[in-house]
Amino acid sequence: MNKAWRIARREFASNIIKPSFLFGAFGVPLIIIVIMVVVIALAAESQENLDRVGDVGYVDQSGVLADAAARPETFLAFQDAEAARAALEAQRIGAYFVLEPNYVQTGTVRLVSRTSAPDALKDEIDAFLIANLARDLDPEQVERLIDPIDESILTLDSGRQLSGAAFVGLFIVPFIFVFVFLLASQTTSGYLMSGVVEEKNSRIMEILVTTVTPFQLMFGKIIGLGALGLVQLIVWLAAGYLVTTLGQGTPVLAGVTIPPDLLAIGIVYFILGYFLMAGIMAGIGAVVGSEQESRQYAGLFTLPFSIPFFLIVSFFTDPDGPIVTFLCLFPFTSPVSVIMRSAFSAMPPELLALSMTILLITTLVVIWLSSRIFRWGLLLYGKRPSLGQIVRAVRRRSSSMATTAAAPVEAGGR
Amino acid sequence: MPSNTAIQVHHIAKSYGSFQAVRDLTFDVYAGEIFAMLGPNGAGKSTTIRMILDILKPDSGSIAVLGGALNDATKNRIGYLPEERGLYRGVPVVEVMTYLATLKGLSSAEARKRSLAYLEKLELSAFARKKVSDLSKGMQQKVQFAVTLLHDPALIIIDEPFSGLDPVNTLVIEDMIKAFRDQGGAVVMSTHQMYQVEYLADRLVMINKGEQALYGQVDEVRARYALPAVIVEGVGDWASVPGVERIEAEDGGRGTLMFLEAHTQPEQVLSALAGRPDIQLRRFELAVPRLNDIFIQVVEQGRNGTTA
């Protein structure tokens, strides 16, 4: 296995420097973090705007604010609009607002400001007015009046709580997982396939197969590129962690955490799903003649992996229904499905166990089949075998190889 | 199997569907010799090489390489230069060499050291960090030949090693092959270039239609096909020499081919010539056929249904 290890190392080292990988692994999360930082900076700036406004004057002609309660320190009462205006012009205040005599009926508030008034100022005025309009109620009732629903969605089966911010987190985490899974496994297994095609076309395969066994070659490639995929996953998770940590200050991401059980399920399915996809790609790479052809087949075989994404509505509306259950069990859709399903509600353990078992067995079978095809297809140049030949290759005793395949090589190579 | 037997091919056969590529082929290759594998296109040479390398399994018969069936350890002691060559194109030369040598069991440091040493020997040091695709075809071929030898194998199998090389580089590679042989290595060389076999190879097997057509020492095979004739060059009336049946112009040379009557030995002709003052003799040699002629003869005979 020493040779497989050397192959793994080379695959890892030579692909990690590819621009396409670097962009997918580091560039995209970097862009997301930059966007995040910009959003946070904008939020911070709006707070800063509020500070810049300084003191805010108000003129109450309606009587609502007579004997004002819960008055922010920066709010100053003025007798009339002229006095407030003079203060504004003298730059003693940054803005003032006027409640008309019929404010209670009309809700009209006139806000005068030197610059455009930031949203945060309006929020502050809102809170001030509500507190005074409802001054006869007790503070708890006022609190409810301001924020009547602190939503908490309890799913029926398991009681995974989807409340407030956690809901966002539970949606973001599987989304990142699914996205990274598809991106990483398709990128790396694509490298695997095009690497095999390159080695076949450059005939370096002739040297490789007289040095290592086809299984060592395939295994080394899958491990090396799998490590590459894991690097990508880790970078993304780190980026996700960074984003949620940075984002604690913003209303959207406050309180968002990544549930550890979801993380564990995600990693297990990521690895199993990757091996399944890589096994398929290795098999395809071994039998197709050109890189272009290999891409078409790759697209065809990776499509099932992303099907659950298109059926995401079912995961919301009917997570225990037959569609989602099937998607969670069917090995080509289960990696993505289980991650999404687990995010919305914890899966019954027996279903999870069954799904994992099916995926594991399928992965092992696919890798075994693929290594048979791999062994036989490696020296097949420029000619795609028929399905019947592939089936015969799989059935053949492992010791004998390429009986039908080598004939065109022999004839074509001369 | 004697300790100096590198390859033992014993009655192997291989067919692809209804096409019989190799039928009942037997030969040995010894350490310290250059063994040529000859044959027309489609004779089964590549199939045989692939069976020796365990890429293909023979339908019947057995092959022992370096003492037995191939395994990881024996694979590390074999160097293979395939006929259709290639290297990772976008990778620096020294990296490709190092990688392939580590697959043969060398440590990375040792592999790199030897790669650089070979590049030096091949006068390619300046290209060590260049990408393979930046090298000319001949340079790539030299690099690939170096890869065949890097891990210090006991046996190398080289398929058409000189195709596409200029005379200077051909000489460089020839010297390396001979040096490898002289250090006790076994060389299996498949080629179409007969003149190279004549002066490089120690023994040969000629395969025709999947069967052994000729097998043995190169000199011995040539002698076996020797004509009852001598070649002379000079001035004189060659036909008047006693024991000469007829004369012909030498094919592709300045001399004259003298066919001898039955029971006439070349030595008798030489002494007769020496005693003739009217003849100036500048060259006298036995008419040993070129390997090329033997090759063509064998193939023609095979086509006519007779065996050589």
Per-residue pLDDT tens for B82-97? 888 888 888 899 999 9
The 10 Å CB-count burial string (b at 16+, else e) for A156-178 is eeeebebebbbbbbbbbbbbbbb
pLDDT at A346: 75
Which of chain A's residues have a Cβ under 8 Å away from the Cβ of B85?
203
Q: Is the pLDDT of residue A22 over 50?
A: yes
Chain A residues 6-35 within an 8 A CB cutoff of chain B: 6-7, 10, 14
pLDDT at B15: 87
Does B57 contact A401 at a Cβ distance shorter than 8 Å?
A: yes
Burial, A246: exposed, middle or buried (Cβ in 10 Å; 0-12, 13-18, 19+)? middle
Which of chain A's residues have a Cβ under 8 Å away from the Cβ of B47?
406, 410
Does A407 contact B16 at a Cβ distance shorter than 8 Å?
A: yes
Q: What is the pTM of this model?
A: 0.73
Query: DSSP of A131-178, one letter per residue?
Result: HHHTTTS-HHHHHHHHS----EEEPTTT--EEEHHHHHHHHHHHHHHH
Phi, then psi, of A71 in degrees rounded to 5: -85, 125
Any chain B CB within 8 A of the CB of A414?
yes
Chain B residues 168-207 within an 8 A CB cutoff of chain A: none
pLDDT at A288: 80
Q: How far apart are CA B32 and CA B130, in angstroms?
A: 35
Q: Is the pLDDT of residue A205 over 60?
A: yes
Residue with tokens 């080292």: A13
* pLDDT, mean of residues A47-54: 72
pLDDT tier, B205 (very low <50, low <70, confident <90, very high otherwise): very high
Residue of B56, B84, B86 lying closest to A401 (CB–CB)? B56
Residue B105 to chain A, least CA–CA distance (Å): 8
pLDDT tier, A171 (very low <50, low <70, confident <90, very high otherwise): low
Residue B94 to chain A, least CA–CA distance (Å): 14
* pLDDT, mean of residues B215-220: 89
Phi, then psi, of A139 in degrees rounded to 5: -55, -35
Contact (CB, 8 A) for A187 and A232: yes
A144/A75: higher pLDDT: A75
Reported as a single tens digit per residue, the pLDDT across A61-86 is 888 887 777 788 888 888 888 888 88
pLDDT tier, A319 (very low <50, low <70, confident <90, very high otherwise): confident
pLDDT at A402: 40
Q: Is the pLDDT of residue A353 over 90?
A: yes
* pLDDT, mean of residues B14-34: 90
pLDDT at A65: 80
Structure tokens at A244: 């949620």
Most confident residue range from A130-134, A207-211, A236-240, A283-287: A207-211
Chain B residues 67-106 within an 8 A CB cutoff of chain A: 72, 75-76, 78, 80, 82-89, 91, 99-100, 102-105
Residue A271 to chain B, least CA–CA distance (Å): 27
Q: Is the pLDDT of residue A411 over 70?
A: no
Any chain B CB within 8 A of the CB of A135?
no
Structure tokens at B7: 């390859």
Q: Is the pLDDT of residue A30 over 70?
A: yes
> Which of B41, B48, B51, B55 would you mutate first to test chain A, the one with the most A CBs within 10 A?
B55
Reported as a single tens digit per residue, the pLDDT across A218-253 is 889 999 999 998 888 888 888 877 777 776 666 556
Q: How far apart are CA B55 and CA A375, in angstroms?
A: 9
Least confident range of A323-327, A379-383, B139-143: A379-383
Does A211 contact B82 at a Cβ distance shorter than 8 Å?
A: no
Q: Which amino acid, residue A385?
A: P
pLDDT tier, B129 (very low <50, low <70, confident <90, very high otherwise): very high
Q: What is the mean pLDDT of chain B?
A: 88
CB pairs under 8 A between A and B: 76
* pLDDT, mean of residues B47-63: 90
Which of chain B's residues have a Cβ under 8 Å away from the Cβ of A210?
53-55, 75, 78, 80
Does A410 contact B41 at a Cβ distance shorter than 8 Å?
A: no
pLDDT tier, A362 (very low <50, low <70, confident <90, very high otherwise): very high
* pLDDT, mean of residues A131-140: 80
Looking at chain B, the whole-number percentage of residues with pLDDT higher than 90 is 42
pLDDT tier, A410 (very low <50, low <70, confident <90, very high otherwise): very low
Any chain B CB within 8 A of the CB of A105?
no
DSSP 8-state code for residue B257: E
Residue of B84, B102, B104 lying closest to A413 (CB–CB)? B84
Any chain A CB within 8 A of the CB of B46?
yes
pLDDT tier, A381 (very low <50, low <70, confident <90, very high otherwise): low
Looking at chain A, the whole-number percentage of residues with pLDDT higher than 70 is 82
Residue of A204, A211, A399 lying closest to B88 (CB–CB)? A204
> Which of A207, A398, A404 would you mutate first to test chain B, the one with the most B CBs within 10 A?
A207
pLDDT tier, A354 (very low <50, low <70, confident <90, very high otherwise): very high
- B85's CB contacts (< 8 A; 6+ apart) are A203, B140, B141, B144
Structure tokens at A173: 């985490």
Contact (CB, 8 A) for A285 and A193: yes
Q: Which residue in chain A is spatially nearest to B151 when comparing CA positions?
A: A211
pLDDT at B215: 92
The 10 Å CB-count burial string (b at 16+, else e) for A226-238 is bbbbbbbbebbbe
Q: What is the mean pLDDT of chain A?
A: 79
Q: How far apart are CA B9 and CA A76, in angstroms?
A: 105
Chain A residues 202-261 within an 8 A CB cutoff of chain B: 202-204, 206-212
Q: Is the pLDDT of residue B255 over 80?
A: yes
A181/B203: higher pLDDT: B203
Q: Which amino acid, residue B307?
A: T
* pLDDT, mean of residues A26-36: 84
Contact (CB, 8 A) for B60 and B97: no
Which of chain B's residues have a Cβ under 8 Å away from the Cβ of A203?
82, 84-86
What radius of gyration do chain A's Cα atoms show? Answer: 32
The candidate with the shortest Cα–Cα distance to B49, out of B70, B32, B31, is B70
Reported as a single tens digit per residue, the pLDDT across B264-291 is 888 888 888 888 888 888 888 888 777 8
pLDDT at B176: 93
Model ipTM value: 0.78
Does A212 contact B103 at a Cβ distance shorter than 8 Å?
A: yes
pLDDT tier, A399 (very low <50, low <70, confident <90, very high otherwise): very low
pLDDT at A150: 63
Least confident range of B166-175, B209-218, B298-307: B298-307
pLDDT tier, A254 (very low <50, low <70, confident <90, very high otherwise): low
Q: How far apart are CA A11 and CA A18, in angstroms?
A: 11
pLDDT at B295: 83
pLDDT at A328: 92
Q: Is the pLDDT of residue B80 over 50?
A: yes
Does A211 contact B55 at a Cβ distance shorter than 8 Å?
A: no
Residue A162 to chain B, least CA–CA distance (Å): 51
Whole-angstrom distance between the N-terminal and C-terminal Cα of chain A?
35
Which of chain A's residues have a Cβ under 8 Å away from the Cβ of B99?
6, 10
